[in-house]
Amino acid sequence: MSGIDTSPQTVIGLAGHVDHGKTTLVKALTGMMTARPHEQALGMTQDLGFAHFEDEQGRTIGIIDVPGHERYVRNMVAGVWHINILLLVISATEGCMPMTFAHMRLARAMGVKDIVVCINKSDLVSEQVLADVEESALESIMDVTGIVPEVVCVSALTGHNIETLRQTLLDMVARVEPSDVMPGDATTPLLYVDRVFVANGVGTIVTGTLAQGTVSVGDKLFSPNGGTTGAVRSIQCYHQQVHDVTATCRVALNIKGLSRKQVQRGDLLCAPSAPVTMTDSCIVRLDDRYSDASLTRSTEVEVAVGTWHGLAQCIPLPNTRLARLLFRQPRPMFFGQRLAIIQSSGHGLLAQADVVWTSFIAKARKRAIYQALSDLPQGLTANAQLDMLLQLQGYYSVALLCGEPATQGVVEGQYVFDPQWLAEAQARIIQQLSEGRAMGPGELSSSLQMESDIVQVLTQQLKQQDRIFYSYAKWQLGSGQSEDELPEVAQTILRLAREAGAAGLELNKVSLGQDKKWLRQLAHQKYITAIDEQIYFDMGVYQALVHQAIGENQPHDRVTLQEIKQRVDLSRKYLIPFVNRMEKDGWLRRDDEVRIILKSASE
């Protein structure tokens, strides 16, 4: 395989108004024609075009050519969401046009910080006109972005100053610091798919820009949209086969286990452990630089994120910079994810936003959560999210650590807990159980208004401390044998015995095979009892039948077999073995045709 440099790479995106010469400029820089034949005939780029060139050290710099016409602004967003540098192309014959500013705002909304301005077609105007266009462009861009970009005047058609532009781009490439798309572990791979196809004899191929992390042959990639994981069989980067590749760069991945029907343009591919949630709603924080007056009420908007775009209902939250987005179908979302909110029937940018919450919010917790989200720092980092969750709810999933150690809190199971919250939550469980009745996990979860997974972690801790135990699918105070520690096969037998009830578990009616050995173990631990070699009762059922058989009788009272039969309503096939079992357990003693009570039901 090729030895392409897999150190952090760079992708440059060309944007600007239609017919300002972007595609011609790409060819002048790289020698590659990105426009497809039908686009060349039309004289207009409609979808993303891809090219690349190398620097003096042989490192590859990718280029994405995006459509300039407002009809294709969604495709433009798909091209710039992951680029490192924006090359904003302005025609010297027209100057800045509406889509010039629209593209610039969209690129900034997607997190692009570095801009180079290229004034093209310099050969078609006088030096004075060129100077005026340059000054006007600088002033306008500074007003919008607050930065002073590099400006290079060229003629893509004649080649004038192309080498100067190339060197300017390379100088900026050397200074660019890669920014993580997902706050946290920068090694977590993230790729939004822009094309999917099937190659004969190869299988499913997906292409896109690896925006973060590293991918190697053999790695597992997960598609949250399809709920499927596949293995990377081969990687192609800029037309060369490689073993691994590092962001930011264009890649084509052959993925085993992912069919053409399971992935499409706009889908996200990421590490299986990435903290990504499939949700049909999320809370976003609007950037006040782009907030629009039309977002003061519930509005249908178009949301662009990665290479996907679709309609959503945008509901601003009063007195905050927060808004709720309601999607028509679940989408993969994660904390810190950048997205653009666009007019649903136009191309104007309404707002840039960052995802700050992807989970369900109970009505009683809305105020506290909204306040915590409003207090998040301007720069969204993984630690900012973790600190907020500890303060807000007392815990978070270890998956959010992305393999890094927790800086605060204590790790228990799959969660990190605030120590004080953990102690208080355990005390609440003990209080619930001390009120006189056992409670199942679901009951505890509902009563305490806690997630079931959290209740599971807390109860397991308390069980290890011998403060509670699990019996008959309920948690009880005290120490004792806990059924949840039994092997799965033993729990299955126990479940069958309980489902059988007073009918008993008859071995000739179920197929246990070699699992029969667990019957003796369960009987030894007093989970079940054998009334003969073929019939077993759950211990709770057996004890209930014993109490019915004894009834109000006291020690030394005499009771007939017929009286016991009437009390327990067992057939003669079960009655005799049941009474014999009671005699073995010291409840009865036989005296000819009657039985003498040895213990009362209350003992």
Cβ(124)–Cβ(53) below 8 Å:
no
Over residues 373-383, mean pLDDT: 86
Query: Nearest CA to 301 among 267, 265, 351, 266?
Result: 351
Instruction: Output the pLDDT for position 74.
Output: 62
Domains and CATH numbers, the chain: 11-175 (3.40.50.300), 190-270 (2.40.30.10), 281-378 (2.40.30.10), 381-460 (no CATH), 486-597 (1.10.10.10)
Whether the per-residue pLDDT at 217 is higher than 50: the answer is yes
pLDDT in tens, 83-138: 788 889 999 998 888 888 877 877 777 777 888 999 999 999 899 999 998 899 88
Over residues 305-309, mean pLDDT: 86
Over residues 524-528, mean pLDDT: 85
Instruction: Output the pLDDT for position 588.
Output: 93
Instruction: Output the pLDDT for position 4.
Output: 43
Instruction: Output the pLDDT for position 68.
Output: 47
Please state whether 561 falls in left (phi above 0), alpha (psi between -120 and 50) or beta.
Answer: alpha
Whether the per-residue pLDDT at 1 is higher than 50: the answer is no
Over residues 289-301, mean pLDDT: 74
Whether the per-residue pLDDT at 231 is higher than 90: the answer is yes
Token code pair at residue 531: 């009334």
User: Longest C-alpha distance within the chain, in Å?
Assistant: 127
Cβ(342)–Cβ(302) below 8 Å:
yes
Average pLDDT taken over every residue of the chain: 84
Q: Report the alpha-carbon distance of residue 95 to residue 492 in Å, rounded.
A: 76
Over residues 248-266, mean pLDDT: 87
Whether the per-residue pLDDT at 587 is higher than 90: the answer is yes
* C-alpha of 268 from chain center: 10
Query: Nearest CA to 564 among 532, 590, 534, 603?
Result: 590
Interior CA angle at 151 toward 150 and 152, to 5°? 125
Which of 177-181, 201-205, 336-340, 365-369 has the weakest average pLDDT?
Answer: 177-181
Whether the per-residue pLDDT at 435 is higher than 80: the answer is no
Query: Nearest CA to 53 among 3, 96, 8, 12?
Result: 12
